[in-house]
Amino acid sequence: MHTRRIAAFILGAWLAGCIFMMFVSIENLRTPSLVMALPLPPVDSMTRQLGWDRMYALLHHAASEQTRHESRLWLEAQLLLGAILGLCLLLATQKRVAPLVLCGVMLVMAVFQLRLSAELTYQGRETDFLPGSATQSTMIRYLALQQIHYGVEIMKLLAGGALASYLFVFRARRSRKDVHVVDHADHSHVDG
């Protein structure tokens, strides 16, 4: 089996999933504004009953809860992808330390983010219904945790990019090396 190809596929899926989830998180933040900009008649009726600010806060909370749920599921899936990737790299015919270390770093970062997500969820719920439910210090703490989370996400993507380049560059070097190893043909036995 081509464990390097499988490893490259899994790594690609992992990195693509991370980028996709960043996109989903950003788009979910836009949902309340999109719903409120051109409300359907039932939404307009509810908005009149609740008031624009309360309706927006409720929609923002719902979108945030959806984002938190999807992020948690994705972080758990990353642990599985990381374990499978690590196993593929371990079983590869050319066992190298660097890919295993990079995979381990990515996996540790995913575990850190998963642990951080519980605090982010708690702090996020505290800040969903501003200004009444959260103090300024709660909001500052939430924003600091979010920056840490996104910083780790960027570092994980960089480590994944380094691992991807290692897999592809090492493969390309090996292929070129294999081509140059071929002995020169001996055509002296051919009648000329």
111 in Cβ contact with 86 (< 8 Å): no
Does this model's pTM top 0.75? My answer is yes
At 163, is the pLDDT very low, low, confident or very high (cuts 50, 70, 90)?
A: very high
Which pLDDT value is given to residue 53? 87
Query: 66-118, pLDDT tens digit by residue?
Result: 999 999 999 999 999 999 999 999 987 667 889 999 999 999 999 999 999 99
- Is residue 191 predicted with pLDDT exceeding 70? no
The pair of structure tokens assigned to 23 is: 């996109």
Which pLDDT value is given to residue 132? 59
Averaged pLDDT, 113-125: 93
Averaged pLDDT, 142-146: 93
Which pLDDT value is given to residue 91? 86
Which pLDDT value is given to residue 43? 87
Which pLDDT value is given to residue 185? 60
Closest to 74 (Cα-Cα) out of 121, 31, 19, 27: 19
| Count of CB atoms situated within 10 Å of the CB of 102 | 24
At 37, is the pLDDT very low, low, confident or very high (cuts 50, 70, 90)?
A: confident
Which pLDDT value is given to residue 189? 63
Helices (H), 38-135: 41-50, 52-91, 97-127
